[in-house]
Amino acid sequence: MTPGWTQTLLSNNSVLQSANGRFIAVSESLYRLTSHAMTGFPTIIRTVALATTIFFVAPAQSQQIQRPIASDAPSYTAIADLALQSPLVIDGVVNSAVRIKGQEAADAPPGYARFYEQINVNALIGGSGALPARVGYVVDVPFSPDGRPPRLRDMRVIAFARPVPGRPAQLQLVARDAQKPWSPELDRMVRSIITESVSQDAPPALTGIGNAFHVPGTIPGEGETQIFLTTSDAPISISILSRPNQQRQWSVSTGDIVDNSAGPPRPDTLLWYRLACGLPQKLPDAALAGQEPSNAAAARDDYQFVRNQLGPCGEQPAVTAPSG
């Protein structure tokens, strides 16, 4: 739990008690949770300010209504950012969504509404261990184009989340945008990323550049640059071959042996993501220590060639999750 979090308790006496013992008025949104006829919910709700998790203890029920909605395919980078940091990735259907208003939603972005959702779990796409048939979490959702809160019930979603210690039926989204409308394209992308990330030969995260050098050939315009990357696990190296009147050829090796025939990574794969999003914009001077100035310049030029070939990383990492 994040240091400095505060806890409040709402019970059927219709008041909120803050961590310092002071009582404050019940917000309209949370009051509705206890005053309306919602037979599956108890009358005690805990809210954690920074973790933004509202806890319900409710019996799981089987309901598999699935209403997929159209969704533009998000970028590979945005989904990889979410999937690789999520202990749990869930395919599910929204069973219920209760609007949260007032102070508990004060930090929701403009144009967004905050909800507590309960999700019927279809499948655990990523993660280990058992999950209840129904789980709950807080989510910020953009208003509809007409300015109204969206209708969420029966929507099929993919959620990127982490467990809440001691509360097996409660989750916390890893980022504000960590609930995505389900689509076949998104489903395939998420499963591909997770499958590749747990394989034996999964490319590790980059931690820096160890060293780089350029060796000129016997004729002008010929040469080879090798760049050795530091990672969290297995080594990765990049080779760039130059020949007169030919396009430069480059390849990436993921092991101790440099393989010039390996070729560059395919776009929208985990290796492409690691390189496009993990390589620095420029080759560090420290990586070229001891190189002749002309060779160092050639290595820098080859490095920029690789960066241009990889293309931009894509969207920025996901924003932080909602906090109450």
- The tens digit of pLDDT for each residue in 156-171 reads 999 999 999 999 999 9
Identify the band that residue 255 occupies on the pLDDT scale cut at 50, 70 and 90: confident
Q: Count other Cβ atoms within 10 Å, centred on residue 302.
A: 25
**Cα distance between residue 145 and residue 114, in whole Å:** 16
Instruction: Enter the DSSP assignment of 155.
Output: B
- Mean pLDDT (the chain, rounded): 79
The answer to whether the CB of 291 falls within 8 A of the CB of 299 is yes
β-pair partners for 115: 99, 139
Q: Count other Cβ atoms within 10 Å, centred on residue 147.
A: 7
Instruction: Return the higher-pLDDT residue of 239 and 6.
Output: 239
What does the pLDDT look like over 217-246, one tens digit per residue? 999 999 999 999 999 998 999 999 999 999
User: What is the architecture, at CATH level 2, of domain 58-197?
Assistant: Beta Barrel (2.40)
Residue 191: the pLDDT is: 97
Residue 129: the pLDDT is: 83
Residue 259: the pLDDT is: 79
Task: Please indicate, yes or no, whether the overall pTM of this predicted structure exceeds 0.75.
Answer: no
Task: Please report the sign of the dihedral spanned by the C-alpha atoms of residue 137, residue 140, residue 143, residue 149.
Answer: positive
Residue 21 pLDDT > 80, yes or no?
Answer: no
**Cα distance between residue 190 and residue 186, in whole Å:** 6
Residue 257 pLDDT > 50, yes or no?
Answer: yes
How large a percentage of the chain has pLDDT more than 90?
67
Specify the 3-state DSSP secondary structure of 84.
Answer: helix
Average pLDDT on 26-33 reads 33
**Cα distance between residue 204 and residue 229, in whole Å:** 11
What does the pLDDT look like over 176-205, one tens digit per residue? 999 999 999 999 999 999 999 999 999 999
Identify the band that residue 35 occupies on the pLDDT scale cut at 50, 70 and 90: very low
Residue 321: the pLDDT is: 52
Q: Which long-range contacts does 208-211 make (Cβ < 8 Å, 24+ apart)?
A: 208/280, 208/284, 209/279, 209/280, 209/283, 209/284, 209/287, 210/287, 211/287, 211/288, 211/289
What does the pLDDT look like over 95-121, one tens digit per residue? 999 999 999 999 999 999 999 999 999
Q: Where exactly are the structural domains of the chain?
A: 58-197, 206-310
